[in-house]
Amino acid sequence: MAWVSRGLRGSTLEELVNRTNEQYAEKKLALIQKIPTPITPVRMDKDHHQITLAYFEQRSTVDYIGAVQGIPVCFDAKECSTDTFPLSNIHSHQVAFMKAFEEQGGVAFFLLFFSSEDIFYYLPLRQLLIFWERMEKGGRKSFRREELEQQFYLPRQSGFFVPYLEGLKMDLNLRD
């Protein structure tokens, strides 16, 4: 897969999540790291010291990984401009990694940003798997916002850019 101009897609969401992770680290609530996707530069703009064409060296697994109060977590952040989220935005190797991560006692989830509505959503892996398995059985290759569980919409009032620990807390409570 080549990368030319797609590098800025989702960068606003990524910046908000990165700033939230900094806030969580400062308050000693969580330690989460962004996992860089390894690339091989093919073409460089020498005047501006920028990569203009590159290839991904390997498939990335998740965007973020770390620990929250001793609980291993991994997640991927996805942006969607409509009320329908295409499952093609998620890759089977990501789902496989997240399933294996949870089998090892961790918690895997997706952070969704519905940009047209300016809404953040915490999507537990188990909920994504319902849509994923439906797709694999020949069903819809997307899910609609109205199919999502209302309780996992993330509130704005907590003082964090993307308060995903609120979703994680609810997710953990439902697992007990």
pLDDT of residue 5: 36
Domain 2-175, CATH class in plain words: alpha beta
Mark the binding-site residues, compressed into ranges. Answer: 61, 63, 76, 94
pLDDT score, position 8: 36
Measured CA to CA in angstroms, residue 123 lies from 25, 46, 47, 85, 164 at distances of 22, 41, 42, 12, 10
CB proximity list for 32: less than 8 A, separation 6 or greater:
21, 24, 25, 64, 65, 66, 67, 68, 73
Known binding-site positions for Mg(2+):
61, 63, 76, 94
**pLDDT digit string, tens, across residues 46-73:** 787 776 766 555 566 899 999 999 999 9
- C-alpha span between 59 and 90 (Å, rounded): 12
Does pLDDT of 82 surpass 60?
A: yes
Mean pLDDT of 147-176: 91
pTM of this structure: 0.83
Q: What are the tens digits of pLDDT across the range 101-134?
A: 999 999 999 999 998 888 999 999 999 999 999 9
In Å, how far are 76, 87, 95, 159, 168 from 110, measured between CA atoms? 5, 12, 10, 21, 11
